[in-house]
Amino acid sequence: MASVTPSYDRDGEHIGWQVAVRKRGFPAQYKTFRTKAEAMGWAAVTESEMVRGVFVQRTESEQTTLNDLLCRYSKEVLPTLKGGYREQSRIKALQAGLGAYSLASLNSSLIAKYRDSRLSTISEKTGRLVSAQTVKHELGLLQRAMKMAAIEWGIALPGGIPTAMVKKPSLPSARDRRLVDDEEERLLAACAEARNAWLRPVIIFAIETAMRAGEILEKWELDKETGNQEKKGVGLQWSDVDLKKRTAHLPKTKNGDARTVPLSRRAVATLEALPRNLDGRVFGVTYEGIHQSYVRACRRAGITGLTFHDLRHEATSRLFEKGLNPMQVAAITGHKTLQMLKRYTHLRAEDLAKLLG
């Protein structure tokens, strides 16, 4: 049964109405309202939910703001994730837009408004509109944090996880740039003319293995808070290469899982021709050192619109064209789902026609 009693302040002034709902099998519920009608309405809804077996304890979700949740997620979860530092900018954006709301008050309408607002915001970093991919990552982070709150931290969300009901921004079509005609020969010829002697073997190795730039080369990134360059990847190490077995082991990858990449004969020949660095790196150059050389080589070769990451697209597609099945290709490239793999795979119709006989 619910009881509604007047509530007074220290001076004896009437300030509202306190409700107490007590029902066997449920924790007692208390709440104060300004009017008696609001108090009785809340009591009726709460009792009805208890009777129907759909009652959810709201106290903690009402007292926890999204800002509180994201701070906890940042401290307890991000340090355990590979590349978790990338989530900090997304957390700041979510806190700025939705941080003041309690978890109980967050709904799909508020999140949809946040999505639309972000898509019309100019990024301080790029000077352009915030991309749909960026907003999708932010909503994904919000969903993971709220799921953690509900499942691991025991914070009941009365309306469930609202992000599941919000339409994600439409992404632009996946890049389908591949090497065409004699572009590979022209590119490698231009690389051979480069001052950077590492450029040509790096390009060949990328095409042969489908490895990411950060898996091949040492990589550095600017820490916005400190203004210092920080090493984010050590690149491929000789200690992880077995030329006899024709494998390269990657103990740390972007998705957090280790994997071992099989090496083609061309990849092995490329490695065998390299000088050995005293620091253990296979390629004695950073990604930053390769990038500008690569851009200039493409310019000399008359090749436009081909990014370094497109070489991973090219390599992945060639694996399928050689007849490997999706599971085999995923084991090489490190993609976790077929949908992710599909975005990097662009098969030529003429090559598929040859397989048909």
Of 114, 287, 294, 344, the active-site residue reads: 344
Do the first three CATH levels of 62-165 and 183-356 match, i.e. the same topology? no
Q: Is 246 a catalytic residue?
A: no
Q: Is the pLDDT of residue 98 over 90?
A: yes
Of 254, 266, 299, 322, the active-site residue reads: 254
What tens digit of pLDDT does each residue of 30-61 get? 788 888 888 888 788 877 877 776 666 677 78
Of 212, 219, 281, 313, the active-site residue reads: 212
Q: If residue 320 lies in a helix (H) or strand (E), which one and from where to where?
A: helix 310-321
**Looking at domain 183-356, which of 1.10.8.80, 2.60.120.10, 1.10.443.10, 2.60.40.60 is its CATH number?**
1.10.443.10
Q: Is 299 a catalytic residue?
A: no
- 230 vs 13, which has greater pLDDT? 13
CB neighbour list of residue 258: distance below 8 Å, 6 or more residues apart: 249, 250, 251, 252
The predicted structure's pLDDT at residue 282: 94
Q: Is 291 a catalytic residue?
A: no
Q: How far apart are CA 212 and CA 276, in angstroms?
A: 22
Residues in the chain: 357
Mean pLDDT of 224-233: 70
User: What's the sign of the alpha-carbon dihedral 138, 140, 143, 144?
Assistant: negative
Of 219, 312, 313, 318, the active-site residue reads: 312
Q: How far apart are CA 92 and CA 336, in angstroms?
A: 28
Q: How far apart are CA 104 and CA 75, in angstroms?
A: 22
Q: Is 309 a catalytic residue?
A: yes
- Residue 228: exposure state from Cβ atoms within 10 A (0-12, 13-18, ≥19): exposed
Side-chain half-sphere exposure of 161, counting CA atoms within 13 A: 16
Q: Is the pLDDT of residue 211 over 90?
A: yes
% pLDDT > 90, the chain? 45
What tens digit of pLDDT does each residue of 159-206 get? 788 988 899 988 777 677 889 999 999 999 999 999 999 999 999 999
Q: Is 177 a catalytic residue?
A: no
β-strand pairing of 14-21 with 29-33? antiparallel
287-301 vs 183-192: helix crossing angle, rounded to 10: 120
% pLDDT > 70, the chain? 91
Helices and strands: H and E segment counts in the chain: 15, 8
Nearest to residue 161, comparing CAs of 186, 182, 184, 144? 144
The predicted structure's pLDDT at residue 277: 83
User: Hey, where are the domains in the chain?
Assistant: 2-55, 62-165, 183-356
According to CATH, what is the number of the domain 62-165? 1.10.150.130
Nearest to residue 3, comparing CAs of 13, 16, 18, 15? 18
Please report, to the nearest 10 degrees, the dihedral formed by the alpha carbons of residues 69, 71, 77, 79 taken in order: 170
Q: What single letter denotes the amino acid at residue 127?
A: G
Per-residue tokens: 245: 């077995």
The DSSP-derived string for 74-112 is: HHHTGGGSTTGGGHHHHHHHHHHHHTTSBTTT--HHHHH
Q: Is 344 a catalytic residue?
A: yes
The predicted structure's pLDDT at residue 301: 94
Place of tokens 């092995």: 268
- Residue 156: exposure state from Cβ atoms within 10 A (0-12, 13-18, ≥19): middle
Of 177, 309, 343, 346, the active-site residue reads: 309
